[in-house]
Amino acid sequence: MENMYTYQQLYAFCVAIFAKMGCSDADAAIAAKALIAADLRGIDSHGVARLSGYVRLWQAKRVNAMPQLKIVHETPSTAVVDGDAGLGLVVAPYAMQVAIDKARNVGTGWVSVKNSNHFGIAGYHAMMALPNDMIGIAMTNASALVAPTFSVERMLGTNPIAVAIPAGEEPAFVADFATTTAANGKLEILQRKNASTPTGWVQTKDGHESTDANELKSGGSLLPLGGDREHSSHKGYALGAIVDIFSAVLSGANYGPWVPPFPAYVPMPENMPGEGIGHFFGAMRIDAFRTPDEFKQHMDNWIQRFRSAKTVEGEEKVIIPGDPEREMEIIRMKDGIPLVNAVADDLKALAGKFSLQFA
Q: Mark 293-307 as b/e (b = at least 16 C-beta within 10 Å).
A: eebbeebeeebeeee
Taking the complex as a whole, how short is the minimal distance between the CB of residue 130 and a copy of itself, in angstroms? 14
CA dihedral (289, 293, 297, 303) in degrees, to 10, reads: 70
Q: Which stretch binds a copy of itself (CB under 8 A): 18-26, 63-71, 89-97, 231-239?
A: 231-239
Q: Find out whether 256 and 244 touch, Cβ atoms under 8 Å.
A: yes
Map the footprint of a copy of itself across residues 87-126, applying CB under 8 A: 106-108, 110, 112
CB burial of 236-263 (b: ≥16 within 10 Å; e: otherwise) equals: bbbbbbebbbbbbbbbbbbbbebbbbbe
Which C-beta is closer to a copy of itself: that of 151 or that of 191? 151
Residues in 4-33 that interact with a copy of itself by CB under 8 A? none
- List 83, 256, 261, 276, residue binding a copy of itself (CB under 8 A): 256
> What is d(CA 3, CA 339) in angstroms, rounded to the nearest whole number?
5
Task: Say how many residues make up the chain.
Answer: 359
User: Which CB, 30 or 223, lies closer to a copy of itself?
Assistant: 223
From the list 33, 56, 62, 231, which residue makes contact with a copy of itself (rule: CB under 8 A)?
Answer: 231
Judged by CB under 8 A, the number of residues near a copy of itself is 80
**Binding test (CB under 8 A) with a copy of itself, winner from 65, 91, 100, 284:** 284
Q: Which of residues 195-224 bind a copy of itself (CB under 8 A)?
A: 198, 200, 206-207
d(CA 359, CA 357): 6
C-alpha span between 157 and 341 (Å, rounded): 28
Contact region with a copy of itself (CB under 8 A), list: 15-23, 47-55, 62-70, 304-312: 304-312
What residues numbered 62-91 form the site for a copy of itself, per CB under 8 A? 73-78, 80
Applying CB under 8 A, among 192, 217, 290, 353 the residue interacting with a copy of itself is 290
Region 117-176 residues binding a copy of itself, contact defined as CB under 8 A = 148-153, 155, 163, 165, 173, 175
Pairing status of strand 337-340 against strand 202-203:
unpaired
Spell out the residues 6+ positions from residue 60 whose beta carbon is closer than 8 angstroms to its own.
264
H/E stretch holding 293 reads helix 292-307
- Residue numbers 314-353 binding a copy of itself by CB under 8 A: 315, 317-319, 321
